[in-house]
Structure 1
Amino acid sequence: MAEAEVDDVFIDDITFPAVDGYALGATLFLPRGAKQHAVVINSATAVPRKIYRKFAGYLARRGFAVLTYDYRGIGDSRQRAMLGYNRPKSLVGFKATMADWAALDITAAVKWMRERYHTLPLTYVGHSFGGQALGLLANNNEVKRALLVAAQAGYWKLMASPERYRVYALLNFAGTPLTRLLGYMPGWSGVGEDLPKGVFEQWVRWVMSERYLFDDPDLRTLSNFPRYAGALRSICLSDDPWATRPAVELLCTGFKATTPEILTIMPADADAKTIGHLGFFRPEHRDTLWRGAAEWWRRKADRVTARFSYSDIKQPASSPLSPSSFRGA
């Protein structure tokens, strides 16, 4: 595994074992100088780790040791070996669920970074599903700070209209028949990367449930939500039709041992025309969104010297679906 030096950052493509031994494809970004924080970036559904490469490099140049990786069945973790046996290229018959991603893959990523950088504070970045999964981890108490980006309880009726109707039709009238026919959910249908059948089917059940994953009676790891007691900041992008403010608030009600800080950011706050569900990680946000995140982690946000600080954003009044409305989550 050769280590390359790019723009004052060491970048190493590696593998590390999931909880069950499945080898996950990953990339480690290291600063040349002293390391101040360890960061694990956890992907959205059907999104490969390469989407986060520029953001990870930005953080590494500022003293963060950063890990990005692919969940099983995605990107470089699609054809990795498990217990010495090669997985087939096709996802037909590939056994995985979203609950597996959390319990086996994300849990292992947190453990791997915690053990490797045990003297550094551990920071968690969760994009969409990656943010949802924080509450499912048995070892989420190892995380000191968590930044959730566009992470929501994704019930379809909490999505913005007309996107909610497109999603409903895609999942039920196109995705479900395709998955049953092919044995996996093809990315060309509009979801991103190909998805294992079990992942897609569990995702559909959650999206069709009023309280999303909180309504899953078989999801025993929901009991881990109250274990997380670290700092929690959840970013809601105002033009994101998937992770709307009510959906973000609903997810945050599960974190009962901490006080989530929910910030709604409009594109104008970041000198942008659009941001959307994926846009936070675009490199044009280096001096705005990315800088705000890095400063929050370092506890050095300065409203006078910083060009952009999340504390400058004026927040809207509580939405009709406020966190207090879902205290049973």
Structure 2
Amino acid sequence: MDNFFTDEVDVYCQDGYKLSATLFKPTTEIKAAILLAPATGITQQFYKNFACFLAEHGYAVITFDNRGIGKSLSGKVSASTASLQCWGEQDMPAVLEFLKTTYPDSSYHLIGHSAGGQLVGLMHNAKDLSSIFTFASSSGRLKNMKMPYAFKAHFFMNIFIPMSNLLFGHTKSQLLGMGEPLPKRVAQQWRHWCNGQGYVKTAFGKSIYNHLYDTLSMPSLWVNASDDDIAIDVNVTDMLTVFKNMNAETMTLSPEACNLSEIGHMKFFSRKASHLWEHPLTWLENNVPPQ
């Protein structure tokens, strides 16, 4: 019998938008509460097995779909006004507030996949996090990518996104195996930020005026894979330059050393790679404050 259960819950953002989320709740007293923040265009279902693993080890975990994605899409995707910026400024903070209300005596930790780690500095309540663990979170800077993947990345960002937005009013990223269909503004910001340096930094003083990237200083571990064409070491470093005071450690996993044929940008969360989940588990055990 499982030592946890799940609840499908609604999370309301400050602007009134309703997000679909799932809470994984241990039946015993929890060790800590985990905000599991997704990659761009990836639904919460993708993280279910990983969330179950953490819940089995005594951690309360919440997964969610960002607005405009999966079950948090209201209406047609072409009508969605969602952006990467509002995911960080509205959605992620609201989910953290839900955790704080549900578990007021806990500590709170972020596990972010790609965008889920990149956007943390936009959260007005990010200082309530005791630690951060990310996988494949980097600036995604196109200029740093190596051929032949660089050609694919430039095609997707600088040709496919503008053309798809023009023709369909949104980005049909699913056609290229890039997750869910993306709202127009999400894809536009993604393209703009990956063409610049420091990802979100390209929007400072333009669309972003308030953020915590300069001040966050909690312990963090930034994990990438040697066979990831996006979150390469130089792009992880580029992302970390935006977090000027972050207490950051890095770790690069090799699929060969981990007895896997592939890790890449996505496979860390697959059941086949479940032995890698000991890394975030150990991180949490070392960074959860004693009760």
Does the alignment reach a TM-score above 0.5?
yes
For the 8 Å contact 1:160–1:244, the answer to whether it is kept is no
TM-aligned CA distance change 1:231 to 1:219, over 3 Å: farther
Q: Distance between the aligned counterparts of 2:217 and 2:160, measured in 1?
A: 40
Sequence identity (%): 28
Runs of 5+ consecutive residues of structure 2 not aligned to the other structure: none
Alignment of 1:1-329 (within 5 A): 7-79=2-74, 88=75, 90-190=76-176, 191-216=178-203, 217-220=205-208, 223-287=211-275, 289-299=276-286
Deviation at 1:64, TM superposition (A): 0.2
For the 8 Å contact 1:13–1:28, the answer to whether it is kept is yes
- Letter of the 1:295 partner, please give it: T
Indicate the SS of the match to 1:223: coil
Indicate the SS of the match to 1:29: strand
Indicate the SS of the match to 2:211: helix
- Letter of the 1:200 partner, please give it: A
TM-score, length-scaled by structure 2: 0.93
Indicate the SS of the match to 2:67: coil
Report the structure number with the largest CA radius of gyration. 1
Q: Distance between the aligned counterparts of 2:252 and 2:13, measured in 1?
A: 34
For the 8 Å contact 1:52–1:68, the answer to whether it is kept is yes
Indicate the SS of the match to 2:78: coil
For the 8 Å contact 1:127–1:148, the answer to whether it is kept is yes
Runs of 5+ consecutive residues of structure 1 not aligned to the other structure: 1-5, 80-87, 301-329
Q: Distance between the aligned counterparts of 2:211 and 2:166, measured in 1?
A: 31
For the 8 Å contact 2:26–2:58, the answer to whether it is kept is yes
- Letter of the 2:201 partner, please give it: F
Deviation at 1:7, TM superposition (A): 2.9
For the 8 Å contact 2:90–2:123, the answer to whether it is kept is no
For the 8 Å contact 2:214–2:244, the answer to whether it is kept is yes
Deviation at 1:222, TM superposition (A): 6.1
- Letter of the 1:53 partner, please give it: K
Q: Distance between the aligned counterparts of 1:189 and 1:30, measured in 2?
A: 35
For the 8 Å contact 1:160–1:242, the answer to whether it is kept is no
Q: Distance between the aligned counterparts of 1:27 and 1:221, measured in 2?
A: 31
Aligned-pair RMSD on alpha carbons? 1.6
1:172-192 per-position Cα deviation (integer Å, ceiling 9, x unaligned): 222211111211111333222
How many positions carry a matched residue from both structures?
A: 285
Indicate the SS of the match to 1:260: strand
1:58-88 per-position Cα deviation (integer Å, ceiling 9, x unaligned): 0000000000000001011012xxxxxxxx2
